[in-house]
Chain A
Amino acid sequence: MLSLLFFSAAFAEPLTAKAVANVPAHELYASDWGSAGEVEISVLPQQVASPRNMAPTITKLKARALADKNWVSIRLQWDDKAKNDSVQVDEFTDAVAIEFPLGDPAMANPMMGGANNPVYIAHWKAIWQRDVEDGHTDVQDYHPNFWSDGYPFVKGGWPYPVETAFSGSDSMRYLPGTNAGNPISQLDRYRPVEELTAVGYGTLATQQYQDADAWGEWKNGVWTVIISVPRVVVDAGNPTFETGNQNIAFAVWDGGAENVGGRKHWFPFTPMVVQ
């Protein structure tokens, strides 16, 4: 009974992805969203696995869903008094994620899945939204008056924007994460969402093919984010959305409260209906 409670939960009315001709994937406040039923999710602080979120700051996530023949889109809204879309040693980004089982839905563990029951995660990050809109955040964005004597093998002139000045392979060696191909360190970003697969704690991995789409905005203390997942792709790492029932889980991070990784708010798998 306990494990059932832990793995899944249900709302009075399941989240229903209402059929529309074309999902307004980047139109955060389009009227179609108003016509989709809203589900209120009481998220919980993640306190099952270390590192835990011991000081929860988010209690509710509101979700609506739409579907057309190519996409299933989920719009998520939550209160967050501060927009956190920068990353420095003591600054963390706001973020939200949806999760779908890839194996047996009854056995899928929402905490990063398991060896026989992997999970698919689409993770939107506020800092990636900023990257897409304004370019990769750079040293001069955080410290406009910074000075450095110089950087080896760079192109162009001061302040040597990383996106252009470090494109050569010699200079790139001085951006270790980027040079190692780490998706977190990628400099040219086209979408603010990352598709991942996990088969247990510590196994979260970026998918080779990135098929999801997302868009988000912080306005008057509320984040509104749409995450869209293709219904069918030739990618074994993605779920397939037939018309009918699905399971979905949620997670949300408050960067201002140092939420990152496992320090998050979450909600287990819950039924969703795709029209």
Chain B
Amino acid sequence: MSKVMNWQINREMDYPYEGARPDKQIAYIFDTNKCIDCQTCTVACKTTWTSGKGQEQVFYNNVETKPYGFYPHEWDPKLMEILGPQEWKGKTFAGKTIFEATQDGLPVKGFLPDEDSYASPNLGEDVVAGMMEQGAFFQGIHKVWMFYLARICNHCTYPGCLAACPRQAIYKRPEDGIVLVDESRCRGYRECVKACPYKKVFFNTVTRVSEKCIGCFPLIEQGEQPRCVQTCIGKIRLQGFLSKPGEEKADNPIDYLVRIKKVALPLYPQAGTEPNVYYIPPVHVPRDFTGQMFGPGVEEAVATYRSAPKDPQLLAALLMFGNTSRIIERFKAEGELAVGWDRDGKEAVRVPFTEPFFAREFFDKKHETYRHNIT
């Protein structure tokens, strides 16, 4: 085991390989507050990459309803269970990561889901956390909660899947940090399926080897955002590149939101893989739940997020979401406008802070009818 620095848990940790950060790291931000669970992302991904035989249960992208939705079934309660109770001391994780809680000489602690765990891709959809009191729905804001968690491979800095493969059939691209399974080398041992804490490596029963999200690398190489990001109806997603720790650029929207404003947080950072999909936590969910899921920065992240209307730079960064297919490398607030540029320095986004608002008459005189929708 080597010692590597994991900034998300604020300490060094054990990892089977030497730490080697890529030149730039593919990263995503998902705003959980905006997801409407339309599953457009899931379908866009499925039709692009996984509509072959043996891929019926392969979802590189899925959207699950928390707290009772999971794919595969119960993946995260099981992860919490195998790791046991763990502690954060302030911003430092004092427990054991999947690379430190290992047994029997294995490089990673994990578990293999059974076949049935993959049988219901959207089990628990829209199930809320508790019972609603009679009439609560009509009496204003109620306390019963749920939220949608969109999930893809995290293209982790320290991938569990890669660490566990005895054949080195999984690799991380040095140019952009995308983690790939070499489809010609894999022999279907499923050590990676066991090891990925997020269960984002899938086993194909027809080809008998493992597969995972490829980060839409053919698009990335052309400066375009992945399919799940481009098609997102709720405009909850932004993909870009995260700089190495200490090299953050304030005009890179990913660096700015993740490392500078800390408004977007990693999913289960305590697993230790340094995942690179960052979530703006749901503002309405109890902190003990989101704290376990996104780590100790939730309170601050929610407060910062709520301050966005009064913070032009933050607002501008948030307006980069869903407004272009291009990967935004640089952004800024220009008066009441948010502007973003791609890798070629070409302007790719220019959006107003406040959308123009038009109200029409309730009664349409020409057609002599009332309008249902006037805005």
**A-contact bits for B99-129, CB 8 A (1 contact / 0 none):** 0000011110000111100100000000000
Do the beta carbons of A181 and B205 come within 8 Å of each other? no
Measured between beta carbons, the chain B residues less than 8 angstroms from A138 are 53, 206
Do the beta carbons of A177 and B204 come within 8 Å of each other? yes
8 A Cβ contacts from A39-80 to B: 49-52, 54
Instruction: Given A52-B104, A182-B207, A182-B209, check contact A139 B189 (CB 8 Å).
Output: no
A261 to B167, CA, bound (A): 10
In the complex, identify which listed stretch (A85-93, A231-239, A241-249) lies at the interface while the others stay far away.
A85-93
Do the beta carbons of A139 and B206 come within 8 Å of each other? yes
Is the CB of B175 closer than 8 A to any CB of chain A? Answer: no
Q: Which of A51, A52, A166, A202 has the most CB of B within 10 A?
A: A51
Do the beta carbons of B208 and A52 come within 8 Å of each other? no
**A-contact bits for B178-211, CB 8 A (1 contact / 0 none):** 0000111111111101000000001111111101
Q: Chain B interface: which size bin?
A: 35 or more
A51 to B105, CA, bound (A): 7
Q: Which residue of B lies closest to A166 (CB)?
A: B53
Do the beta carbons of B51 and A174 come within 8 Å of each other? yes
Do the beta carbons of B208 and A184 come within 8 Å of each other? yes
Measured between beta carbons, the chain A residues less than 8 angstroms from B206 are 136, 138-139, 162, 175, 185
8 A Cβ contacts from B136-193 to A: 164, 166-168, 182-191, 193
Is the CB of B218 closer than 8 A to any CB of chain A? Answer: no
**A-contact bits for B204-243, CB 8 A (1 contact / 0 none):** 1111110100000000000000000000000000000000
Is the CB of A160 closer than 8 A to any CB of chain B? Answer: yes
The minimal Cβ–Cβ distance linking B12 to chain A, given in whole angstroms, is 22
Do the beta carbons of A181 and B184 come within 8 Å of each other? yes
Do the beta carbons of B205 and A88 come within 8 Å of each other? yes
Do the beta carbons of A146 and B112 come within 8 Å of each other? no
Do the beta carbons of A182 and B56 come within 8 Å of each other? no
Is the CB of A201 closer than 8 A to any CB of chain B? Answer: yes
Do the beta carbons of A90 and B112 come within 8 Å of each other? yes
The minimal Cβ–Cβ distance linking B163 to chain A, given in whole angstroms, is 11
Instruction: Given A50-B105, A139-B205, A177-B207, check contact A89 B114 (CB 8 Å).
Output: yes
Do the beta carbons of B188 and A87 come within 8 Å of each other? yes
B105, B164, B188: the one within 8 Å of A184 (CB): B188
The minimal Cβ–Cβ distance linking B142 to chain A, given in whole angstroms, is 37
Is the CB of A148 closer than 8 A to any CB of chain B? Answer: yes
Measured between beta carbons, the chain B residues less than 8 angstroms from A35 are none
The minimal Cβ–Cβ distance linking A155 to chain B, given in whole angstroms, is 12
Is the CB of A152 closer than 8 A to any CB of chain B? Answer: yes
Q: Which residue of A lies closest to B214 (CB)?
A: A176
Do the beta carbons of B167 and A88 come within 8 Å of each other? no
8 A Cβ contacts from A153-182 to B: 160, 162, 165-166, 171, 173-182
A142 to B182, CA, bound (A): 26
Q: Is the interface of B mostly helix, strand, loop or mixed?
A: loop
Is the CB of B54 closer than 8 A to any CB of chain A? Answer: yes
The minimal Cβ–Cβ distance linking B208 to chain A, given in whole angstroms, is 5
A49 to B54, CA, bound (A): 31
Do the beta carbons of B167 and A180 come within 8 Å of each other? no
Measured between beta carbons, the chain B residues less than 8 angstroms from A173 are 52
B51, B118, B209: the one within 8 Å of A177 (CB): B209
Do the beta carbons of A152 and B51 come within 8 Å of each other? yes
Is the CB of A151 closer than 8 A to any CB of chain B? Answer: yes
Q: Which residue of A lies closest to B53 (CB)?
A: A162
Do the beta carbons of A176 and B211 come within 8 Å of each other? yes
Instruction: Given A89-B193, A261-B189, check contact A139 B53 (CB 8 Å).
Output: yes
8 A Cβ contacts from B66-110 to A: 104-107
Query: Ordered nearest first, which 8 A-B pairs have the shortest CB separation?
Result: A174-B52, A177-B207, A180-B183, A185-B207, A261-B189, A180-B184, A177-B209, A89-B203
Interface residues of A (CB under 8 A from B): 49-52, 54, 87-91, 127, 136-139, 142, 146, 148, 150-152, 160, 162, 165-166, 171, 173-182, 184-185, 201-202, 204, 258, 260-262
25 A-B pairs within 8 Å (CB atoms) are namely A51-B164, A51-B189, A52-B105, A87-B205, A87-B208, A88-B115, A89-B202, A89-B205, A151-B52, A166-B53, A174-B52, A174-B53, A176-B211, A177-B186, A178-B207, A179-B183, A180-B183, A184-B186, A184-B188, A185-B209, A202-B167, A202-B168, A258-B112, A261-B167, A261-B189
